[in-house]
């Protein structure tokens, strides 16, 4: 692990996304909440939050962080593309970029798991950091929309 013992704890935040591309039939089942496993949006939000809290055990050499807040939102970009966005915040000696990306990834994978009975060709893609703040490097925002 990187030694952060001499770094001051500062307020830090990160926002990440994952896209879930699916058939019109799967999108309709999600919109109508008619999936056999239940409400996929609620399950995905909870899975993302829980995953963010486990980042330090999932990613080798990642620091376990005291998360102050994690939020997962889901919104439709178009008919068959669901955007999963996760935000993580902390007051710590290192950033929360990995926590935000893990939350977005696991929430997206949960959508896949909940809808695979309708469409096995669903694709989880474009997992990426959108922005971060705090720490020595300060503010950063992705140049990609």
Active site residues: 113
Give the whole-angstrom CA distance, residue 67 versus residue 39: 26
Q: Are 55 and 98 in contact (CB under 8 A)?
A: yes
Find the angle CA(137)-CA(141)-CA(145) to the nearest 5 degrees.
165
Triad 127, 23, 85: Cα angle to 5°:
30
Task: Tell me the two tokens of residue 58.
Answer: 């999932």
């Amino acid at each position: 692990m990187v030694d952060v013992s001499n770094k001051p704890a500062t307020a830090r935040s990160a926002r990440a996304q994952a896209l879930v591309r699916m058939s019109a039939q799967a999108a309709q089942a999600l919109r109508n909440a008619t999936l056999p496993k239940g409400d996929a949006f609620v399950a995905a939000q909870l899975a993302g939050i829980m995953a963010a809290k486990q980042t330090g055990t999932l990613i080798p050499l990642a620091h376990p962080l005291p998360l102050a807040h994690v939020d997962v939102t889901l919104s439709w970009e178009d008919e068959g593309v669901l955007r999963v966005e996760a935000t993580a915040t902390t007051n710590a000696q290192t950033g929360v970029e990995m926590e935000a990306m893990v939350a977005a990834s696991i929430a997206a994978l949960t959508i896949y798991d909940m809808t695979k009975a309708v469409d096995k060709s669903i694709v989880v893609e474009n997992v990426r950091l959108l922005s971060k703040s705090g720490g020595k490097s300060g503010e950063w925002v992705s140049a990609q929309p």
